[in-house]
Chain A
């Protein structure tokens, strides 16, 4: 029995799952590990499944209608290919998917299916929404080996239950994605960053809230404390628009934020590099053996929470994205990698996810924020409704399903 299967079509894939589901004896009951480019394999609980199914041969852009702002691609299509197709027509994936290769040191090509399975989004998420907000259609093979479509290629669609959203961020546990469709946006003509130096975390979050609450359409708001990439603390606000709009909006916002100081303006290439570093968390990529966490919180809770985390955890390094709503945290990967202290600090508000830690820790400590019992029971029943035998990525999100 081969341990790696690389189906070349959706039908072939469905056949493999039906085999595993027990319609043939060759590998009846074998659990399946779903893999795209393998660049994000460190996300979720460590996999220990008999057969790996790679989607990399299900590759290609299947539909791109620039005038309808829609693109479809097979799940194994490299993200790079999707982004190049869009760029040719002056468009982009609005949610700015993170590239995990910097923090994992992985090689290979991230796939568009992997982007959906992990619902990865970057700095622009705070304003335009996450991967799941732009995903409008999926095709997948469920655990019964059935081919299922949900959503489609139109951006307004309330026909039946929204299984599209369920697939985003399900880490492949609710089916093996074969094709995904997104609504996209025009690429902005220009970008610039407003930089404030030396702000405290409280002032930084206040600055970002004021900017995000202004009419000037800031599309990124991050705070890099002193010692994260520079000696001085940096608070960054991004503009993306027509050049004339940026030239008007930059001073207009600076005027509103005058109580926080005189900002500097950073332009195109330097600005873009900064936001890629924030998106991909390269600022905390080293040391490679440190554990990495993502904390999703109410932005105004971020300053006090950051202080609590620094007090509770030795050698904690962190920065804020999403106006304070996302905290990236690096700490030494010892014991439970800080799980108990971090989740206690959250006090039931927001949630914390381990993004990088050794397999032994991710097997022993809940990678995702534990859910209250009734919600966990719902999740377990939903998993069973797609995959009754628990064949696809079992244990990836939660030890019991």
Chain B
């Protein structure tokens, strides 16, 4: 696919390649500088694999001081920089460009300190999301945001994208779970934003950094909140005859004052795909499935579930199946969290990430079906029902350029629909290059210009991840 344009590589940067690589070699150990074409190619794309560009150099620093030195050098010589965590971005947030140095944080993957009395952990930006929870789980704590890629994705990338996950209905997204970061500014200056105390003074720069997609600086360390795990957690499967009934049940549960930790929705195609992969015991004779998870002691979970079941029955639930063991619980979540991977086994797909007001669910699901049929394609829907964050997976054949183009157009139509009904283009994956040119559907020119002026307060020369987020035309 070539529908999304990249900026023209800066000729003056390409012409100075040897000089620039020699300069970088003076700043980091040889093992931290990647220059051969074969090795650079490993960094040419991320999980948005339809697009790729080979960067002219990759640096894998081991310290904040090295990141600072590399950024100062690139700033001095006007070289674009693309930060990279694990490269799991679904929107092309980590895709490089030919005139850029990639700064990969993968070697900065240590947990520096765990502090239970203050319920925080200090970690390097390249540590994986799951590694934080694993480090504190034995002591009854966890790190809350849990994107499906949590085994691989890094905390730096999570902050850059303000990642969510299945459990943010109760625990919030990344921005609600970070206390501070060490940030290297574009000119190499190192600043601490936030810290070990709550509510830092001045403007909420930490809030601004969350979801800024590598446009404001490079984070090398973070202080994250760790939370006490509940006494127990139990997911329950609710199978419905129609998506409408499932959607109404979700609204009724929240309306009754119950906030489960997670409410996940899958439609029939998604159920089939995930069950075939994970053997999770999902009911196969229903059109829509909700996975609702509750927490607490056994008696508390029984009481909450009894209320939820009663509400579900009023909305015509056909099947109710409780997890009876830790293994069943793991299988239920494995099925849901492997939805993208399992789909990838049967077809190529692009994954949408729009969010809608949950009251619009039945209408939007009908329209998604119509849109995808209009392009002659198929779709599987999984989404976070409690917060309206949709993940339609549009299936297509990547080797058929015409079909690939149709899939992209169908995706764009779906995202425009999300904005139309009062939602947004992206709930947790980010804008990246994928949704960059749709930004004008959500924002008016003065609104985009206001965002770009804030961006310019950090990087007036458009050196940091410059191909992303903002349409290439009309930049300020």
Contact = CB atoms under 8 A, between A and B. Distances in A.
Interface of A: 65-70, 90, 119, 121, 125-126, 129-130, 132-133, 142, 144, 146-150, 152-166, 168-170, 174, 185-187, 189, 205-206, 209, 212-215, 242, 244-245, 248, 252, 296-300, 322, 325-326, 349-351, 353, 368-369, 371-372, 374-375, 378-379, 381-382, 384-386, 397-398
Contacts of B448: 160
A119 B149 CA distance: 33
B457 A382 contact: yes
16 contacts: A65-B359, A67-B254, A68-B388, A129-B172, A130-B199, A154-B388, A155-B168, A158-B427, A158-B428, A161-B212, A165-B206, A368-B202, A372-B191, A372-B192, A378-B205, A384-B457
Interface in B308-344: none
A154 B423 contact: yes
Given A153-B422, A160-B469, A161-B211, A353 B228 contact: no
A327 to B, nearest CB: 10
Interface stretch (B39-47, B234-242, B284-292, B295-303): B295-303
B439 A378 contact: no
B201 interface: yes
Interface string B198-236: 111111111110111001000000000000111100000
Report, as a range, how many residues of chain B touch the other chain.
35 or more
Nearest to B476: A385
B259 A350 contact: no
A381 B457 contact: yes
A67 B359 contact: yes
B201 A351 contact: yes
Contact of A158 (B201, B207, B259, B430): B430
Nearest to B250: A67
B357 A153 contact: yes
B35 interface: no
A322 B258 CA distance: 25
Interface in B391-444: 422-431, 435, 439, 442-444
Given A158-B429, A160-B451, A248-B299, A67 B252 contact: yes
B193 interface: yes
A219 to B, nearest CB: 13
B197 interface: yes
Interface stretch (B55-63, B78-86, B114-122): B114-122
B447 A148 contact: yes
B196 interface: yes
B164 interface: yes
B356 interface: yes
Contacts of B208: 161-163, 165-166
Contact of A142 (B118, B196, B384, B450): B450
Contacts of A326: 198
B454 interface: yes
A67 B189 CA distance: 46
A279 B427 CA distance: 33
Contact of B259 (A174, A186, A378): A186
Contacts of A121: 199
A126 B118 CA distance: 11
